[in-house]
Amino acid sequence: MADFSSPSLRRAPPRGDDRLFLTERKLRQGAELMFFAYRDFTEDADKLLTGRDYGRAHHRTLHFIGRQPGISVAGLLEILAITKQSLARVLKPLIADGLVRSETGADDRRKRLLYLTEEGRAFEGQLSLAQRERLTNAFREAGPEAVEGFRRVMALMIDSDRRDDILDFVYSNADAGNVETKE
């Protein structure tokens, strides 16, 4: 926000007006960039999904299971922030199609621990490859400093009350190798 109480802004109408105008514009531009960039960002994976009876929700589910093998249904629900009914509609076919394996928890037999199967890992790899290529190109062309700025702004876009939790998750190692940690 511009500081309207600033004397320099008050006594210089054209300069002040211009600054305010630029600020408003930049915010609108930022919002539009979010829209256009996100639309194309998801485009590649979406194409791989269509025709398979799968959608973006299936991709996200595969991604987060691959990210944290052995994650429980509740854990997945918390990250995705959807209802269990919504998750069930996505998870059921993934299990039926052999992309995800559900296992009864060892210590807590109520829990269902989720893992990608060999086939699931392969498909998830295909999906993320598309996005990774786009990100790679963007990051490389933009340069390290721009990427750092991107990360900062994106992090600050997240709801402040859950930001720390989300960032802890994003920047945690977990199981980045997507290894099916069975036992």
Partner DNA sequence: CAATTTACGTCAGGAGTGTTGACATAAAAA
Partner DNA sequence: TTTTTATGTCAACACTCCTGACGTAAATTG
Classify each residue of 118-150 as buried b or exposed e, where b means 16 or more C-beta atoms within 10 Å of its C-beta: eebbebbeebbebbeebeeeeeeeeeeeeeeee
* Residues 6+ positions from 119 with CB-CB distance below 8 Å: 98, 99
Residues 121, 5: Cα–Cα separation, whole Å = 57
Window contacting DNA (CB under 7 A); options: 55-63, 130-138, 143-151, 159-167: 55-63
Binding flag, residue 53, DNA (CB under 7 A): yes
Select 54 or 115, whichever has its Cβ closest to DNA: 54
> Which parts of this chain interact with its own copies (CB under 8 A)?
1, 21, 24-41, 43, 60, 63, 67, 81, 128, 131-132, 134-143, 145-159, 166, 169-171, 173, 176
Of 108, 145, 168, 183, which one interacts with DNA (CB under 7 A)? 108
Phi then psi dihedrals of residue 114, to 5 deg: -105, 135
Q: Least Å distance between CB 157 and its own copies? A: 4
Residues 57, 79: Cα–Cα separation, whole Å = 12
Select 26 or 84, whichever has its Cβ closest to DNA: 84
Select 26 or 105, whichever has its Cβ closest to its own copies: 26
Is residue 2 within 8 Å of residue 18, measured between CB atoms?
A: no
* DSSP 8-state secondary structure symbol assigned to residue 116: E
Select 103 or 148, whichever has its Cβ closest to its own copies: 148
Q: Which residues bind DNA (CB under 7 A)?
A: 49, 52-58, 60, 72-74, 77, 80-86, 88-92, 102, 108-112
